[in-house]
Amino acid sequence: GEDVEQSLFLSVREGDSSVINCTYTDSSSTYLYWYKQEPGAGLQLLTYIFSNMDMKQDQRLTVLLNKKDKHLSLRIADTQTGDSAIYFCAETVSGGYNKLIFGAGTRLAVHP
Amino acid sequence: ETGVTQTPRHLVMGMTNKKSLKCEQHLGHNAMYWYKQSAKKPLELMFVYSLEERVENNSVPSRFSPECPNSSHLFLHLHTLQPEDSALYLCASSQQGNQPQHFGDGTRLSIL
């Protein structure tokens, strides 16, 4: 069935790089997304990658896609305290409309 | 994310009350979504409207009743809810097809 898995927690030191990993199951996914959720807020779209791409870079964010292994990662360079949040990976699944399946989220804690 | 606005931000209600959650999008999108976010569970898709027609009803109890009067507005009518319905209810919108979903900040619902 459709499933997206992420590790639940990541702790990094301010200034280091963070790498959040995700695995998904639907090989027909056309887009894969990363969302960020800060306390008391909704989900903010961070970036997304089309399935025929291997990598996408957007300022401090780098997304890597290994389609063979169905593995997606989000790298945050020079991690700041403002990056502390929950990060959700999501895949599109076929179904006639833009249906997303979300992972449980990875809580990123940035410490001095 | 000011493109999708949800009201109220917080709602406390008794199990016998009737209330409605409202969502409004200013992005010109033609699909709208309701999600439920509970503690320690992945985001759950509840309902999807595409071009003002409901295209997904994800086995949601009838005590939740959605309404989409036009492409910019989405409501979730609540009646005789249970304590386990306490959660963050998120609204999202997108263009049809594989376009990213944009989320509001949610309504935090507490059932007494």
Q: Convert the pLDDT of each residue in A87-105 to its tens digit.
A: 999 998 876 677 889 999 9
Please determine, for residue B50, whether its predicted confidence score (pLDDT) is greater than 70: yes
Please report the number of interchain residue pairs, chain A to chain B, with beta-carbon separation below 8 angstroms: 57
Please determine, for residue B1, whether its predicted confidence score (pLDDT) is greater than 50: no
- The answer to whether the beta carbons of residues B66 and B73 sit under 8 Å apart is no
- The answer to whether the beta carbons of residues A71 and A91 sit under 8 Å apart is no
Measure CB to CB from residue B42 to each of A30, A31, A102 and give the nearest one.
A102
Q: Which residues of B touch A (CB under 8 A)?
A: 1, 4, 6, 31, 40-43, 45, 48, 50, 55-56, 90, 92, 94, 96-106
Token pair recorded at residue A26 = 């639907």
Sign of the Cα pseudo-torsion (B83, A42, A107, A8, in order):
positive
Chain-wide mean pLDDT for chain B? 92
Smallest CA-to-CA distance from B15 within B67, B76, B86, B74 is with B86
Please determine, for residue A3, whether its predicted confidence score (pLDDT) is greater than 90: no
Token pair recorded at residue A111 = 């410490």
Token pair recorded at residue B62 = 């009838």
Predicted local distance difference test score (pLDDT) of residue B59: 86
Residue A64 CA to residue A49 CA, distance in Å, equals 9
For the segment A59-84, the average pLDDT, to the nearest whole number, is 96
Please name the residue of chain A whose CA is at the shortest distance from the CA of residue B108: A40
For the segment B12-30, the average pLDDT, to the nearest whole number, is 94
Number of H helices and number of E strands within chain A? Answer: 0, 11
Residue B92 CA to residue A50 CA, distance in Å, equals 20
For the segment B58-71, the average pLDDT, to the nearest whole number, is 93
Q: Distance of CA A23 to CAs A112, B10, B50, B110, Å?
A: 29, 34, 28, 33
Please determine, for residue A42, whether its predicted confidence score (pLDDT) is greater than 60: yes
For the segment B84-100, the average pLDDT, to the nearest whole number, is 91
Measure CB to CB from residue B1 to each of A31, A42, A48 and give the nearest one.
A42
